[in-house]
Structure 1
Amino acid sequence: MTPAELRASLERDGFVRIPQVLAADELHRYRGASQHIVDTARKGEWPYVRTLPKQFPPWDAEDVQKGIWGVQHLLHPEMPGRDVFAESYFHEKVVDVVVNLLECRRDDLVLELYNMLCRPDHDFALRWHRDNIGPQASAEEELRHLQEPIIHAQWNLALYDDSSLIVVPGSHQRARTDMERGADPFEDNMPGQLAVRMNPGDIVFYNNNILHRGVYNSSIERMTLHGSMGIAKSDPERARNILQHGIGTWASKADFSNIPPEMSKLAQGMQSRLISMGSGHDVGFTHQD
C-alpha cells in the first residue's frame, strides 16, 4: 500500500491490515522471547501482567493466580528479552507505517506503550469500548473526542493466527447509535461487527477509539505484540492515555544501547520525549473496570 492508501483505509474503516511484515527468522525470534516471558508471568515471576477477569488498568499482580491475559511493559529495563522486544517495537517496517499514518518525521515520535496480549487461562472477553472515551460519555462528548486530530498510532502484531479483535468499521467517525449505547456490554452480534483476522507476521493498525472489543479463546495460542507510538503533545488527557499504564515510572531507566545503532538513536529520542510528559502518578484512569 502507498502512504495515501494506508491513511485512506484507516480513515475510512478505522483499521488497516498489512500482511507479512516479519521475516521468518524474526517471527521465530519474537516467538521465543514471547514464550519465555509468558511462562515467567504465569508463574508469578513478572509483576506487570493483565490479570483475569479485570479488563482495564490498573491490574494487581497478586491476582495472577486467577490467570492472565497479557504481559505489560515489554521495554522495561528488567524485562527478559527486552532487546528482542525493542527490535520488534522499533522495527523499520513498523516505524515507516507510523510515520506515514501520522504524516510526521521520525524525530517527532514519542515512545508509548508496548505490551503483549496472550492466551488467557480461561475464556475471556472485553466489553465494547473506545480506549480513550468512557462508556458514560454523551454523544456530544464522543464527537468532540472523535473529531480531534490523530496524534498516535496503535497496532497489533500477530505472532500466531489471531482473530480476537472485533470492530465496528467506521464507528470511529461517529457517536454510538441508540442500539450500540443500549446494547449489552458483551453483545455478541453488534450490527456491522467484523472480526479482524490476522496471520502470523501480520500487523493491524487501528484507531483506538473505534468501537471494539476482544474475545479470547483459552484453547487457542495467542501472542500478539500490542504497541503504540505518538507525536509530542502535552495535555492532561494525552498524558493519562499513556501514563495510566505505569510506563512513566520506569521509562527513564530503559536502556536501548544494545540494539542496532540507528534503532538505538531513534529509541533514545523517543524516550526523552516521553520522559518530558512526567511520571504518571496522578493522571487517573479512563475506565474503572
Structure 2
Amino acid sequence: MTPSIKEMYDEQGYVIVPGLVTPEHFTLLSKACERVIAKTRSGAWPHRRTVGRQFPPYDNDNTDSWGVQHVMHPDLGEPVFAEWYTSEGLLAVVRELLQCREDELQMELFNLLINPLNHHFALRWHRDDVKEDATADEEAQALAAWKYGVQWNTALYEDSCLFIVPKSHRIPRTAEQRAHSITQDAPKNPLDMPDAIRVTLRPGETVFYNSNVLHCATYDSKKPRCTLHACVGDVKGGSTRARNVLQHGLRWMTEDRFRSQLGEKGRAMVQRLVAMQTSVGGQALGYSLGN
C-alpha cells in the first residue's frame, strides 16, 4: 500500500505534494512575485534577505538579495499571497501533517526565495531551532519538542536548491554529520554530508518539511528561482514556535489594514499568533512581534 503523506512526513521528515496551487492561483502568484521581486531588487521594498547573511538581521546595504520577507504585508498590496496562505487545499495538508484542528492553526511566516543576481550563495547545514553546537542530549530534547509546526516551499519555477538529510528530524547528528554542520561556513558540496539528498521540485509542487531536519540550500545567480517559503504553527507549540517566528518582526500583522484583507479564517489565525506572543510573556522573555 502507498504510505499516506502523514506517514511519509513522519518517517522521512519531508513530503512532496503536487497540485496544491490551482492554475488560476499559479498565474496570479507568478505575476505578484514578479512585481514583488522588482520592488525588492530596485530597493523599493526593504524587507529582504541579503547575500552574506543566513539569519536576521540582514544587511540592507547589500543590494544583492536571496529572499523577500513579509510578502503578505499590506504595503506590498498583493492580497493573493494571503489568499493562498489561507486556502483550504494548503491548510488541509497542514492539518493532516500536524494532526490538529483548524481552530488550532496560527499564522506565522510567508516569504519568497529568489536567486541573487551578482553572487552565488549558499546556506550552511543547520536545523532552524537547534544550535549547531548543541550536545546530543540537547538535540534529542529539542527534536522531540519540535512537532507543532510545518514549513514548506512551493516552486513556481523548477527548483533544485534544497538539500536535506532524510530522517534527521528524529535523531541527533552522527559525529560525521556534526563535523559538517557545526561550522558557520556553507558547504562546498552539500552532498558531502552523509545521507544528504537533493530535493527537486517541478513548478507547482510543494515540499513540506520539518524545519529541524538537517538542511541547507544553494543559490545559483544564473538560474532564476521563485519559491514561496512559509510556515504555519499549531497553538500547542507555545514558546517553541515563538522562539523561531517572532524574531522576524510581525507587528504589521496586528494592524487593521492587514486584517481587513483577510477572511474569517485568516483573522482567527492572526489572533492566535498574538495570543502566543502574549502567552510567552512578550518582550519580557525576549519574544516580540517586532516592528
Per the normalisation by structure 2, the TM-score is 0.89
Alignment of 1:179-194 (within 5 A): 179-183=176-180, 185-187=185-187, 188=189, 189-194=192-197
Cα deviation, 1:192-244, whole Å, max 9, x if unaligned, reads 11111101110110000000001111111111111111111474443121101
The aligned counterpart of 1:195 is 198
SS of equivalent residue, structure 1 residue 276: helix
Residue in structure 2 matching 1:109, options 98, 105, 108: 105
Distance (Å, rounded) in 1 between the aligned partners of 2:237 and 2:169: 23
The aligned counterpart of 2:121 is 124
Distance (Å, rounded) in 2 between the aligned partners of 1:173 and 1:257: 40
**Residue 219 in structure 1 maps to residue 222 in structure 2:** yes
Distance (Å, rounded) in 1 between the aligned partners of 2:284 and 2:24: 42
Residue in structure 2 matching 1:141, options 120, 134, 138: 138
Q: Aligned letter for 1:209?
A: N
SS of equivalent residue, structure 1 residue 156: strand
The aligned counterpart of 2:86 is 90
1:282 Cα shift?
Answer: 6.5
Cα 1:227–1:269, aligned 2, differ >3 Å: closer, same or farther? same
Is 2:148–2:241's contact at 8 Å kept on the other side of the alignment?
Answer: no
1:156 Cα shift?
Answer: 0.5
Distance (Å, rounded) in 2 between the aligned partners of 1:30 and 1:239: 28
Q: Aligned letter for 1:25?
A: E
The aligned counterpart of 2:33 is 34
5+ residue gaps, structure 2, are none
Distance (Å, rounded) in 2 between the aligned partners of 1:173 and 1:235: 20
**Residue 153 in structure 1 maps to residue 150 in structure 2:** yes
1:251 Cα shift?
Answer: 1.5
SS of equivalent residue, structure 2 residue 221: coil
Per the normalisation by structure 1, the TM-score is 0.89
**Residue 206 in structure 1 maps to residue 209 in structure 2:** yes
1:284 Cα shift?
Answer: 5.4
Aligned length: 276
Distance (Å, rounded) in 2 between the aligned partners of 1:89 and 1:281: 27
**Residue 72 in structure 1 maps to residue 69 in structure 2:** yes
Distance (Å, rounded) in 2 between the aligned partners of 1:106 and 1:283: 28
The aligned counterpart of 1:274 is 273
Is 2:146–2:240's contact at 8 Å kept on the other side of the alignment?
Answer: no
Is 2:98–2:147's contact at 8 Å kept on the other side of the alignment?
Answer: yes
Cα 1:126–1:283, aligned 2, differ >3 Å: closer, same or farther? farther
Is 1:120–1:216's contact at 8 Å kept on the other side of the alignment?
Answer: yes
1:47 Cα shift?
Answer: 1.4
Q: Aligned letter for 1:186?
A: A
Distance (Å, rounded) in 2 between the aligned partners of 1:234 and 1:23: 30
5+ residue gaps, structure 1, are none
Cα 1:138–1:251, aligned 2, differ >3 Å: closer, same or farther? same
